[in-house]
Structure 1
Amino acid sequence: MAPSDPSFDEIISKIQAATDITAVTKTLAPYLNNLNDPVFAAQPNGQVDPLDALDPATHSFAYLYFLVHRCKASHGFDHALLAKVWAFVTTCDGEQVRLASHKAMSFAEALVKVATETQQPIIAIKPLAVFIQRLQASPGQLTMIHPLLAKTCLLAQSVKDILPILDNDISDVKPQQTHINYKDFLLYHYYGGMIYAFLKKFERAVEFFKLAVSAPAEVASAIQIEAHKKYVLTSLLQYGRVLPLPKYIASAVQRTIKVQCVAYADFATAYEKKSNSAIRTELEKAKPIFVRDKNFGLAKQCMEALHRRNIQDLTRTYLTLSIENITSLIGLGSEPDGARRVEGIIVRMIESGVIFATISHEHAGGMVSFLDDPNQHNNTITMDMINAQIQKATAITAKLSAMDQAISSMPAYFNKQGSHGPEHSGYPMDESDYSMHMGYDNYVDEASSSSHKKQRTESDSGKRGRRSR
Structure 2
Amino acid sequence: MESMEALITQIQGLSGSVEDISHLHNLLKLTEESLQSEAPRLASFLGQLDPAKQSLGYLYILEAYTSAPISREQPSEFIMSVSTFINSCLAEQIRLAADKFVSVCKRFKDQVVLLQEPLRGVAPMRTAVQKLRSSSEHLTALHPDFLLLCLLAKSYKTGLGILKEDIFEIDQPRDFFLYCYYGGMICIGQKHFCKARELLRNVVTAPMSTINAIAIEAYKKYCLVSLIDNGQFSTALPKYTSSVAQRSLKNFCQPYIDLANSYSSGKISELESCVETNKEKFESDNNLGLVKQVVSSLYKRNIQRLTLTYLTLSLQDIANTVQLNTPKEAEMHVLRMIQDGEIFATINQKDEMVSFHEDPEQYKTCEMIEHIDSSIQRVVHSEDAIHEISLTNQYNQKRTGLKYV
Q: Name the TM-score, length of structure 1 as normaliser.
A: 0.76
Matched residue type, 1:384: E
Q: 1:215 aligns with which of 200, 206, 209?
A: 206
Contact 2:223 2:260 in 1 (8 A): yes
Residue 29 of structure 1 deviates from its aligned partner by 3.7
- 1:166 is aligned to 163
Structure 1 position 24 matched with structure 2 position 21: yes
Cα distance in 1, alignment partners of residues 149 and 78 from structure 2: 20
Deviation digits for residues 358-413 of structure 1 (CA, Å, limit 9, x no counterpart): 112112xx221112222222344433332222221122223333445667769997
Deviation digits for residues 202-261 of structure 1 (CA, Å, limit 9, x no counterpart): 111111101111212233332112111111101111111126643311122111123222
Residue correspondences, number:
396
Structure 1 position 130 matched with structure 2 position 127: yes
Deviation digits for residues 107-129 of structure 1 (CA, Å, limit 9, x no counterpart): 11221233233332221111111
CA change 1:406–1:164 in 2 (3 A) is farther
Residue 135 of structure 1 deviates from its aligned partner by 0.8
Cα distance in 1, alignment partners of residues 378 and 388 from structure 2: 16
Residue 137 of structure 1 deviates from its aligned partner by 0.5
3-state SS in 2 of match to 1:369: strand
Cα distance in 2, alignment partners of residues 262 and 79 from structure 1: 45
Cα distance in 2, alignment partners of residues 252 and 317 from structure 1: 45
Task: Give 1:258-407 correspondences, 5 Å limit.
Answer: 258-332=250-324, 335=325, 338-363=326-351, 366-404=352-390
Residue 77 of structure 1 deviates from its aligned partner by 6.7
3-state SS in 2 of match to 1:99: helix
3-state SS in 1 of match to 2:338: helix
Bigger mean CA deviation after superposition, 20-29 or 195-204: 20-29
Instruction: Let me know the Cα RMSD of the aligned residues.
Output: 2.8
3-state SS in 2 of match to 1:343: helix
Matched residue type, 2:321: L
Cα distance in 1, alignment partners of residues 158 and 176 from structure 2: 20
3-state SS in 2 of match to 1:373: coil
Contact 1:77 1:114 in 2 (8 A): no
3-state SS in 1 of match to 2:3: coil
Matched residue type, 2:211: A
Cα distance in 2, alignment partners of residues 404 and 218 from structure 1: 18
Greater RCO between the two (CA within 8 Å, min separation 6)? Answer: 1
Matched residue type, 1:321: L
Q: Which is richer in helix?
A: 2
Q: 1:229 aligns with which of 214, 220, 235?
A: 220
Deviation digits for residues 283-313 of structure 1 (CA, Å, limit 9, x no counterpart): 2333343233222221111011111111111
3-state SS in 2 of match to 1:138: coil
- 1:141 is aligned to 138
Q: Which runs of 5+ in 1 are unaligned?
A: 416-425, 427-469
Cα distance in 2, alignment partners of residues 257 and 402 from structure 1: 29
- 2:49 is aligned to 54
CA change 1:393–1:272 in 2 (3 A) is farther
Task: Give 1:232-247 correspondences, 5 Å limit.
Answer: 232-242=223-233, 245-247=237-239
Residue 414 of structure 1 deviates from its aligned partner by 4.5
Cα distance in 2, alignment partners of residues 13 and 278 from structure 1: 75
Deviation digits for residues 42-89 of structure 1 (CA, Å, limit 9, x no counterpart): 157xxxx43333222322122122333555646467887666434422
Q: Name the TM-score, length of structure 2 as normaliser.
A: 0.87
Structure 1 position 184 matched with structure 2 position 175: yes
Q: Which runs of 5+ in 2 are unaligned?
A: none
Contact 1:75 1:114 in 2 (8 A): no
Cα distance in 2, alignment partners of residues 260 and 80 from structure 1: 44
Residue 330 of structure 1 deviates from its aligned partner by 0.8
- 1:457 is aligned to none
CA change 1:222–1:407 in 2 (3 A) is farther
Deviation digits for residues 133-180 of structure 1 (CA, Å, limit 9, x no counterpart): 11111112111112222222222333343221122132211x3xxxx4
CA change 1:405–1:24 in 2 (3 A) is farther
